[in-house]
Chain A
Amino acid sequence: MKRSLLFIPANSPAMLQNADIFGADALIFDFEDAIHPLEKDAARDLLTHYLDRFKLNDMELIVRINDKTTPYYVDDLKRVVSLPVDTIMLPKTRYEDLIELDTLLHKLEKQSKREHPLSIIPIIEKAISLFEVEKIASHHRVTGLLLGGEDLATDLEVERSQEGTEILLARQMVIYASKAYQKDAIDTPFTDVSDQEGLIKDAMFAKSLGMTAKACIHPIQIDTIHDIFSPSEKQIAYAKRVLHAEQEANDKGLGVFSVDGKMIDKPIIERAKQVLKRVKP
């Protein structure tokens, strides 16, 4: 289960070399906004040789490519298919883009004899995408949805605020679509890296709505995100008691049982299982 996803500009040797020491659950190597248009080729070459030199284990490796309206899209894809990464992050995703990407990936993966098909994390950052978000979440390659708050605000012609009122509906739509298909609901990054209190508030609010992870743009944000998106000791202990009590009830052939004086039913058992699934081994 991912809690934190850290963006790393793919053309920065200093950032790449330290990428795996910060403890993020996933790394997003960026070919898009963090890379100047004249440096896209250099970023592809640098990431290729970095991944050839360093073996990164225990974390999901994601590449954010440039979107299909750019001249870099196909070159990005051809390169990513040859890399030892897990997932493509697709900016400004429309459902038709996803279908087109899936078809292209089938072809490229076959050509390159890639063993494991790439997953996709679409970025939901256009107003129009929100009207297709359920279809996008249902796609078999999609493992999670990332809300792109900054670009969405631009599309909505509004300013981003600390409270995030302007993206509340979008957050909820991304969450509902993700939950409907058991995919990760990944919250938009908090962009003021000097404001830890703001990050805590923003992440806690996102979690309270149902987000399961948060993207971040600086390593300093990782510990806070882990604290907030990991279950608490109390939640873990209660979940274990519920599952233990369920086992005992099953052994005795009891249909109903209670924990701490409270009747336990199926949704509570499911929630307990979800909590324990989110505990990092």
Chain B
Amino acid sequence: MPYASAGTLSSNDCLITVEPADSLVITIESIVFDAFGDQIERVIQDVCKQLKIKKMKVLVQDKGALDYTIKARLITAIHRLEGKV
């Protein structure tokens, strides 16, 4: 199964891994999950909606990334995946 990643596990960043799936499945591992888990999920949902993506597995390994970083890393990962499938 092809997959693609973008980002890093450094502080203020996140590593996002995406792969094809039958529905949109979002998994979030975050050092600030209790406070920001919902917000991270919302960013992922918004980007997928914007790009009209309804089926994809998204794993977010977050190290305190701000919204703009999560958005950018997801977009890069999706474009990388598009180049593979």
Q: How many A-B residue pairs have CB under 8 A?
A: 47
Q: Which residues of A contact B10 (CB under 8 A)?
A: 12-14
Q: Are B72 and A45 in contact (CB under 8 A)?
A: yes
A270 within 8 A of B: no
B66 within 8 A of A: yes
Q: Are A46 and B72 in contact (CB under 8 A)?
A: yes
Q: Which residues of B contact A46 (CB under 8 A)?
A: 68-69, 72-73, 76
Q: Taking CB as reference atom, which chain B residue is nearest A52?
A: B68
Q: Are A45 and B65 in contact (CB under 8 A)?
A: no
Q: How large is the interface on A (under 10, 10 to 19, 20 to 34, 35 or more residues)?
A: 10 to 19
Q: How large is the interface on B (under 10, 10 to 19, 20 to 34, 35 or more residues)?
A: 10 to 19
Q: Taking CB as reference atom, which chain A residue is nearest B71?
A: A49
Q: Interface SS of chain B: helix, strand, loop or mixed?
A: helix
A50 within 8 A of B: yes
**Taking beta carbons and an 8 Å cutoff, which residues of B are in contact with A?**
6-7, 10-13, 65-69, 71-73, 75-76, 79-80
User: What 5 additional pairs, Cβ within 8 angstroms, besides A14-B11, A53-B67?
Assistant: A13-B65, A45-B6, A46-B68, A46-B72, A49-B72
Query: What are 27 of the A-B contact pairs (CB < 8 Å)?
Result: A13-B10, A13-B12, A13-B65, A13-B66, A13-B69, A14-B10, A14-B11, A14-B13, A17-B12, A41-B76, A41-B79, A41-B80, A42-B6, A42-B7, A42-B72, A42-B73, A45-B72, A45-B73, A46-B68, A46-B69, A48-B72, A49-B69, A49-B71, A49-B72, A50-B69, A52-B68, A53-B68
